[in-house]
Amino acid sequence: MIKRNEKILKRKNTALLIIDIQERILGVMQNPEGVVTNTVKLINGFKILNTPIYYTEQYPKGLGETEATIKNALGEAKAIQKLSFSCSGAGNLFDELKEKEITQIAITGIETHVCVQQTVLDLLANDFQVDLAADAVSSRNSFDYETALNRMRQNGAEVTTTEAILFELLEVCGTEEFKQISKIVK
């Protein structure tokens, strides 16, 4: 029997976590349009695949709500509000993921070297596999972004892309889901 790599994302075990892509801070990030575009691609793809989506807001009173295009794509989903930088402090999020037998988390968000990095390190410490969409995270400067990607990779995070995440979850071509997701990534 041919084995598949255990790190390849599996639909039944995967959730998307969008971290703090909020109006008042997004404008000072590098490539904010790319972060929004790729996050929306992930949201739409995860919806097609009927895979769970979570999103957080860091101190929304000060940083505003989630960016409008992303919020619109999320539909009726409710933000998990937090004051901690890491999503480990976002209510019972980690417990809920474990209860739902989610073991793989795809990550998008800002800032790469603060909330994203602390969340990724905490997820790894709690035995989750983390797949970081490098084209859907950002920081104010490239040095912080690159340093954080390297640190997360060295600690066991899978650094990948939006498109790679979606096609791993698909597994095969020729399905209606493949056709829909192919349109999203174009």
Evaluate whether 180 touches 48 at the Cβ level (below 8 Å). yes
How would you list the strands of the sheet with 158-160, edge to edge?
80-82, 53-58, 14-19, 104-110, 129-138, 158-160
Choosing from 20, 122, 131, 135, the catalytic residue is 20
The pLDDT tens digits of the residues spanning 26-80 come to 999 999 999 999 999 999 999 999 999 999 999 988 888 999 999 999 999 899 9
Q: Report yes or no on 108 lying in a domain.
A: yes
Nearest to 7 by CA among 100, 154, 128: 128
82 within some domain:
yes
6 within some domain? no
Judge whether 3 lies within some domain.
no
Is 20 in the active site?
yes
pLDDT value for 56: 97
pLDDT at site 60: 86
163 domain-assigned:
yes
**Residue-averaged pLDDT of the chain:** 96
CB 160 within 8 A of CB 134: yes
Q: Which residue has the tokens 């969008």?
A: 18
In a domain? residue 5: no
DSSP 22: B
Q: How many domains does the chain have?
A: 1
User: Rounded to an integer, what distance in angstroms lies between the CA atom of residue 76 and that of residue 72?
Assistant: 9
Which tens digit of pLDDT belongs to each residue from 78-92? 999 999 999 999 989
Marked catalytic residue, from 82, 87, 122, 135: 82
| 4-17 per-position pLDDT tens digit | 899 999 999 999 99
Work out the number of other CB atoms within 10 angstroms of the CB of residue 133.
25
Tell me the whole-structure pTM to 2 decimals. Answer: 0.96
Tell me which residue range forms the domain holding 30: 11-181
Angstrom CA distances, 32 to 37, 82, 173, stand at: 9, 22, 31
Which one-letter DSSP state was computed for residue 102? Answer: -
Catalytic residue, chosen from 115, 122, 131, 135, is 115
Tell me the CATH number at 95: 3.40.50.850
Q: What is the pLDDT of residue 96?
A: 96
Is 118 inside a domain boundary? yes
Catalytic-residue membership of 98: no
Residues 6+ apart with CB under 8 A from 86: 115, 118, 119, 121, 122
